Structure 1
C-alpha cells in the first residue's frame, strides 16, 4: 500500500478540502519533527454507521428562502455521495423542537383516540427537506426520530416547554402516537431507521422539553414503546435512550439497562457534547455494552451564528476524533443550516450551523465546520472499521507553538474497499511535522500539516 493523496483544509490558506499530491506536503527536513503517527490495521474496533445532520423545521425554513437551484446545491453538499459529504444519517423531530417556528403537535387538543392526528406541520417544511435529502443521498437515508415533548395535554405541567413529565396514564397512548408518526412517514415513502425516547430528558428547558429518569425511559421502552413497535411491524427499529450530554452517559445507561427486559428492547444510547470532553464515559459505555449502538446525535456552537469563525471547525474535529476513538458508532450534527442570526428558534436559543443562509440577499456561507465535517464523512465510509492509531511525541504540546493546550489529534479507519482513511487535525499555530508508521506502508517520509489545519490521508 502507499499514500495515495492528501486532502487538506487550513485557516490561513486557500486549501478547502483540496486534494494534494503527497509530495506537496513532504517536509523539507525532519528537524522539527513533532510526532510519529502509528497505524496498526490488524488491531480493530467498532464499525461506523456513518455521519449526518439534523433536518429541522428551522433548517427547512431558511433553505426555502433560497432559489431552488441554490437550495438543492446546499442539500446536495451534505448528502450527495459524489459531489457532497456523502452523509447517510439524519435526525428529525416528532412534534416541534426549539428550532421550530412555534410550539406544535400532531394532536393539539385532548384526543385520546388520536383521530385528529395531523401531519400538516410536518408536510409544510420538514418533509420536503427530508425527501430532498433522501433523493440526494441516492434514495436511501438512515433517519432517526426524536421527540422534544409530547403534546401539552399529555404532560403534568400542561406545557410543551419548561420540562414537566409525561403522565403515566398516557404512556400507552404516547407509544401509539409515535407509531402513528412512523406509519405516516412510511406512507410518504420515508422509512425510519431508529429513534430515541426523548431529547435531553434531564433538562428543564424554556423550549420544548420533557423529563424522564433512566428507569422511566426503560420502563416506557419495555412495557409500551417496544411492544407497540413490534405489533406495528417495526420490531427491528432500535430504541435509543439518554440522548443528552456525555457526562451522565454511562450512569444513565447503567440505570436504564438494569430494568428487566431492557436488553431486549433498548438498542443503544445517544449523547451530545454540551457538558464537555468526557470521552471516558463514551469509552466505558462502548466497552460495557459492545453490541449496542452508541450515537453522537447533537452538537453545535451555542450563542448564535459565527460567520467566518475558524474555531467551530476545530471544535467539530476535536469532538469527532475523540468520540470515534472512544467507540462511537455514528456521528450526527445539529441543524444543517440556519439564518445569519443562528435561527429561527422560537425562544431565541440561537446557534451556529455548518451553512448560514442570508435570507434577504439569498446567499449562502459555508462555514469552517462544513469543511471539517467533510474531512470525515467523505472518506470514512459506512461500514468502515476503526483501526489502531497512536501518536508518539517526545515534545510537550507547548514546544510546537508555545501554547500548552494546543495539540494534534488523529483517528484512522479501514473502509470496506480496503483503503485506509487517516484524519489529522492540527490546532496549533505552527507547522506540525510528522511521520507515518504502518506495516503496509513502504514509504518512510516526514510530512507537514499546516497551522490550524486538518488533513485526510488516503492509503490504498
Structure 2
C-alpha cells in the first residue's frame, strides 16, 4: 500500500511523528558541562558537551540516576556574613567593587552564583574586630529586662551588606547563631568560656528574639536560629559558651520554643550547630518531649567526625531537617592537600546525600592576612579573599565548590537518586523545580582522570573527568524525546 499526500502539504511532520513513535530515544542530546580543576587552571569552564545516547554505556564506573526517587528540598548554598566579612565588603571595597562582588555572589544574571543561604553571628565571633554582645552593660551588672540591648555594632557593616545581599536575591534565607550570651548571663561573667546560668534562660531567649525583631525592622528577616554556636566547646580567646544537650533542651522546651510558638511567625530553631562526632548531642535534645516539637532541624559542622553521622539522626527523627552550617577552608590538613575535590565531596556532595537541605562555608570574605580576627583561627580562608589595600578579589576553592552547586541547583530543587561509584569519584544529583532540569555534581579526588558512565531514562553518556577536578552536568530529561 502506498501512502499518498496532498502535494500542498509537507511530509516532514508525518515522518517526524513516525520517527518519534518508533525510535523515541534515537536522537542524541547534548549535556552541558562545566569543569574546575584543583589548580584553577580551568575555573568553572564551559567545556565540550557530553552526549546522551540510547543504552546503558559500558564503563565500569556507573552513576545511575533515577528522577522518580526524590528526597529533600534544597534551601541553598552559601557562606556566613561574619563581622569581618561585612567590614571588608563595606569598607575595603568602593561602591562599584562592592556592587560587582555581591552581584557575582548572590545574583543569577550572567555568571552569578545565586547564593541563597547565609548565616549571621549574634554578637561577636572570632571573626570580629573586637569582642562584644548585644547587651553589654556599662558596669557589667545583670540586665534581665534587656534595657541595654542594641544592634548599633552592626549598623556600619553587617546590616547594610545583608540588605544589599537581599536586594540582589530576595529569596535569600538567613540564619543566625550566638557565640555567647552576654557575660552577665554566664557563670564566668565574661564572653569568654563559661555556661549560661539557668536563671537567665528566659532573658537569653528574649535576647535572641529581640535580635530577630531588630533585624526584621532593618529589612533583614531571620528565618532560623541556633541557640549556641559549637555548644560543646569553650574557646580560650574568643566568645564561646558550653551548652550541653540537657541545657539546650530546657532552654528550647521551656523558654524559647514556647515564646516562638506564641508569636506564630517563627523563626525556626535548629539544634546542635556543631560537629559530626557527637550525634548523641542532637539526639538528646530531639529525645526530649518538650524540646522536640520546637526543633525544626539539626545543624552540623565539619571539624570532627564524618558527614555520614547526619543520616542516623535523620533516620531516628525523619521529620527533622539537616543543614551543614559551618565549614571553613584554610591552611591545614586535610584541607590543604585535599583542596577543591575534598571541599566539594564533603560539604556539597556528601552533606546533601546525607539529607542536608543547605550547606554553608564559614567566612564569605577575608583579607590577605586571613582576617581581621580577634582570637581563634588565624589560618582560615574566606570564600573570596579581598585585598584590603586594593580591593582585588581572589576566588578560593570554596568559591568554586559553591559555584558548581549554587549556580545550577536552584532553591526549591530536590535531591534525586544517584548511585555511588567509589574509586575517588563522588556524586549527587538534583532536579530543579522551575524548569525540570537535572543537575549532576561529580568530584574526582584521584590523581588520574576517571572515565564514568551516567545513565538516566534509558540512555547514557560517557565522560572522562580530569584528575583532581569537579564538574557540573545539566540537561533536561525530556529533551531527547522532542529533539
Normalised to the residue count of structure 1, the TM-score between the two structures is 0.89
Give yes or no for the alignment of 1:38 onto 2:64. yes
Cα pair distance change 1:152/1:423, threshold 3 Å: same
Q: State the SS of the aligned residue for 2:463.
A: strand
SS of 1:124 mapped into structure 2 = coil
Matched, 1:379 2:379: no
DSSP 3-state at the match of 1:255: helix
| Equivalent residues of 1:148, 1:209 under 8 A apart | yes
For the 8 Å contact 2:35–2:472, the answer to whether it is kept is yes
Q: How does 1:91-102 map to 2 (within 5 A)?
A: 91-102=119-130
Q: Structure 2 residue aligned with 1:230, among 242, 253, 261?
A: 261
Deviation at 1:438, TM superposition (A): 1.5
Equivalent in the alignment of 1:439 = 457
- For 2:471, the equivalent position in structure 1 comes to 455
Cα distance change of structure 1 residues 336 and 187 upon mapping to structure 2, 3 Å threshold: same
Query: Is 1:52 the counterpart of 2:78 in the alignment?
Result: yes
What residue is the counterpart of 1:132 in the other structure? 164
Q: Does 1:202 align with 2:232?
A: yes
Distance 1:176 1:425, change over 3 A: same
Query: What residue number does 1:356 align with?
Result: 385
Question: Which residue does 1:400 correspond to in 2?
Answer: none
The 8 Å contact of residues 79 and 119 in structure 2, kept in 1 or not, is answered as: yes
- Distance between the aligned counterparts of 2:342 and 2:383, measured in 1? 12
Where 2:46 maps in the other structure, the secondary structure is strand
Residue 256 of structure 2 aligns to a residue whose secondary structure is helix
Kindly indicate whether the alpha-carbon contact (under 8 Å) linking 1:25 and 1:447 is maintained by their aligned counterparts in 2: no
Contact kept? 1:218, 1:266, Cα under 8 Å: no
Q: Which residue of 2 aligns with 1:281?
A: 309
State the shift of 1:355 in Å: 0.5
Tell me how large the CA RMSD over aligned residues is.
2.4
- Displacement of 1:34 after TM fit? 5.6
Q: Aligned pair in 2 of structure 1 residues 247, 48: CA closer, same or farther (>3 Å)?
A: same
Q: 2:151 aligns with which of 119, 129, 134?
A: 119
Contact 1:25-1:449 within 8 A present in 2 as well: no
Aligned with 1:22: secondary structure?
strand
SS in structure 2 of the partner of residue 75 of structure 1: helix
Cα contact 1:283–1:327 (8 A) shared by 2: yes
Aligned residue number for residue 180 of structure 1 = 210
Contact preservation (8 Å) 1:3, 1:457: no
Pair member with larger Rg: 2
- Residue 318 of structure 1 aligns with which residue? 345
Note if contact 1:175-1:224 (Cα within 8 Å) is conserved in structure 2: yes
* 1:126-159 Cα deviation digits (max 9, x unpaired): 111111111121x232110101001111110111
- What displacement does 1:369 show? 2.1
CA 285–3 in structure 1, closer or farther in 2 if over 3 Å, else same: farther
Quote the Cα distance in structure 2 between the aligned partners of 1:214 and 1:275: 18
Give how far 1:265 is off: 0.9
| Contiguous gaps of at least 5 residues in structure 2 | 1-24, 477-483
The residue that corresponds to 2:113 in the other structure is 85
Q: Deviations over 1:316-336 (max 9, x none)?
A: 201121111111111111111
- Counterpart contact for 1:316–1:373, Cα < 8 Å: no
**Runs of 5+ consecutive residues of structure 1 not aligned to the other structure:** 398-406
Q: Quote the offset at 1:361 in angstroms.
A: 2.7
Cα distance in 2 between the residues matched to 1:92 and 1:12:
31
In structure 2, C-alpha distance between the alignment counterparts of 1:14 and 1:23, rounded to whole Å: 21
How far has the Cα of 1:24 moved from its partner?
9.3
**Normalising to structure 2: TM-score of the pair?**
0.85
> Matched residues in 1 for 2:201 and 2:229: separation?
17
Q: Secondary structure of the equivalent of 2:79?
A: strand
CA contact (8 A) 1:303 1:349 kept: no
TM-aligned CA deviation for residue 173 of structure 1: 0.8
Number of equivalenced pairs? 436
In structure 1, which of residues 325, 340, 343 is the aligned counterpart of residue 368 of structure 2? 340
- The answer to whether the aligner puts 1:16 opposite 2:40 as a matched pair is no
User: Could you tell me whether the CA contact under 8 Å between 1:429 and 1:451 is conserved in 2?
Assistant: yes
Range with bigger deviation, 142-151 or 7-16: 7-16
Q: Residues 45 and 233 of structure 1: is their aligned pair in 2 closer, same or farther, counting only changes over 3 Å?
A: closer
Which residue matches 1:408?
A: 425
1:404 aligned partner: none
The SS at the match of 2:322 is: strand
What is the DSSP-based 3-state SS (H/G/I as helix, E as strand, rest coil) of the residue aligned with 1:253?
Answer: helix
Larger CA deviation: 115-124 vs 196-205: 115-124
Aligned with 2:219 (options 179, 184, 189): 189
CA distance in 2, matches of 1:12, 1:187: 44
1:86-143 CA distance string (max 9 Å, x none): 1111100111111111111121113222122111101122111111111121x23211
Question: Could you tell me how far apart the structure 2 residues matched to 1:348 and 1:144 are?
Answer: 22
